């Protein structure tokens, strides 16, 4: 049990999956900041749509205490710069920490304008902050190699595991919450979701709503996907199939429903599940060190990975 635990959370392995998460998260967070800039006024302006609301116990936020009218604007600009810095791997951990801090402050300062996708984007950022994801395809790594101190490529994956477990458990919680409703049982939930006009992005064709059998199947398939993800995503032979199904599922959501960064954040979390050999190959397209010295890498991974024997 102890060996399996240590193997799962701490056996050194490639940082390539989290490198991909880092680059994608930096880009997505920069877009998040850019898309917020035009609405800083009114959403963060006193006397406009910045409402006085008390936060729940445990929530901290220094932003309202700073007392300067342009704090939110400044924080959004800092977030933009920090996110780009994280994306390119410049002062990776520091820039990720600053980005996450800015996200927390901005999201908590006006809670009425954000959805679950924003929280998930922040969660991905916390994993990036904790992970050693600046050792590949990063300015930090290039500088370190120039100084003759190449970074260790194999690292304990506990932050990646946190992100994987957050997503997998999250899907399960989502399925569980849905089982308390009636429309997921009777198979009409997808049709009803697509009919919410104030959430529509592209309107689903009218003929689709006549296909009640198909809509029943979509509803139950979505529920089944969420309920089983936590079990099916770990075996190597199923993983890419499960992730592909998830991408299709979220592409469907994203096409028809305007839910901001939710699907983007999920795709980023999916990157953490990529098999390391595949992630290594992708990262090696841009950074040859991802595939450097495979013999050393095999020696460096003494712990058996109980859940992922193929890796």
Near another protein in 99-128, by CB under 8 A: 100, 104, 112-116, 119-120, 122-123, 126
Q: Which is nearer to another protein, 106 or 290 (CB)?
A: 106
Conformation bin of residue 110: beta by default, left when phi > 0, alpha when psi is -120 to 50? beta
Residues 209 to 268 in contact with another protein, rule: CB under 8 A: 209-210, 212, 215, 258-262
Residue window 292-311: x/- pattern of binding to another protein, with contact defined by CB under 8 A = --------------------
Shortest distance (Å) from residue 194 CB to another protein: 9
Residue 295 CB partners (closer than 8 Å, separation 6+) = none
Q: Which is nearer to another protein, 15 or 123 (CB)?
A: 123
Give the C-alpha separation, 286 to 22, whole Å: 14
Q: Which is nearer to another protein, 55 or 74 (CB)?
A: 55
Residues 153 to 182 in contact with another protein, rule: CB under 8 A: 158, 161-162, 165-166, 169-171, 173-174, 176-182
Among 35, 244, 285, 296, binds another protein (CB under 8 A): 35
Q: Quick check: 202 and 252 in contact, CB under 8 A?
A: no
Q: Which is nearer to another protein, 242 or 290 (CB)?
A: 242
Give the C-alpha separation, 158 to 239, whole Å: 19
Numbers of helices and strands, H then E, in the chain: 16, 2
Among 53, 145, 236, 288, binds another protein (CB under 8 A): 53
Q: Quick check: 125 and 25 in contact, CB under 8 A?
A: yes
Q: Which is nearer to another protein, 142 or 188 (CB)?
A: 188
∠168-116-102 over CA atoms, to 5°?
105
Give the C-alpha separation, 205 to 15, whole Å: 43
Among 3, 66, 74, 196, binds another protein (CB under 8 A): 196
Shortest distance (Å) from residue 43 CB to another protein: 7
Shortest distance (Å) from residue 143 CB to another protein: 29
Shortest distance (Å) from residue 117 CB to another protein: 8
Residues 71 to 100 in contact with another protein, rule: CB under 8 A: 100
**DSSP calls for 247-299:** HHHHHHHHHHB--TTHHHHHHHHHHTTS-HHHHHHHHHTT-GGGGS-HHHHHH
Shortest distance (Å) from residue 173 CB to another protein: 4
Burial class (CB in 10 A: 0-12, 13-18, 19+), 165: middle
Q: Which is nearer to another protein, 192 or 217 (CB)?
A: 192
What DSSP designation does 201 have?
A: S
Q: Which is nearer to another protein, 198 or 295 (CB)?
A: 198
Give the C-alpha separation, 116 to 132, whole Å: 26
């Amino acid at each position: 049990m102890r060996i399996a635990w240590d193997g799962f959370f701490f056996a050194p392995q490639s940082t390539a999956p989290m490198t991909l998460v880092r680059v994608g998260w930096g880009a997505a967070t920069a877009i998040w900041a850019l898309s917020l800039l035009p609405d800083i006024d009114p959403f963060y302006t006193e006397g406009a749509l910045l409402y006085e609301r008390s936060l729940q116990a445990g929530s901290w936020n220094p932003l309202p205490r700073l007392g300067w009218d342009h704090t939110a604007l400044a924080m959004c600009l800092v977030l933009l710069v920090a996110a780009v810095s994280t994306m390119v791997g410049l002062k990776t951990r520091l820039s990720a920490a600053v980005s996450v801090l800015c996200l927390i402050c901005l999201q908590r300062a006006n809670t009425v304008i954000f959805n679950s996708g924003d929280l998930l984007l922040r969660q991905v950022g916390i994993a990036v902050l904790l992970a050693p994801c600046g050792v590949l395809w990063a300015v930090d790594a290039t500088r370190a190699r120039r100084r003759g101190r190449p970074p260790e490529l194999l690292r304990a994956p506990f932050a990646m595991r946190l992100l994987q477990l957050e997503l997998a458990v999250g899907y399960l919680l989502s399925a569980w919450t849905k089982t308390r409703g009636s429309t997921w049982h009777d198979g009409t939930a997808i049709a009803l979701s697509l009919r919410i006009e104030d959430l529509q992005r592209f309107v689903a064709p009218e003929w689709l709503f006549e296909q009640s059998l198909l809509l029943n199947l979509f509803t139950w398939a979505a529920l089944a996907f969420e309920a089983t993800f936590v079990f099916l995503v770990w075996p190597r032979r199923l993983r890419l199939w499960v992730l592909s199904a998830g991408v299709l599922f979220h592409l469907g959501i994203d096409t028809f429903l305007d839910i901001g960064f939710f699907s983007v954040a999920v795709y980023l979390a999916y990157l953490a599940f990529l098999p390391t050999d595949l992630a290594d190959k992708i990262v090696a397209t841009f950074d040859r060190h991802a595939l450097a010295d495979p013999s050393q890498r095999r020696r460096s991974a003494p712990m058996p990975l109980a859940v992922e024997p193929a890796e």
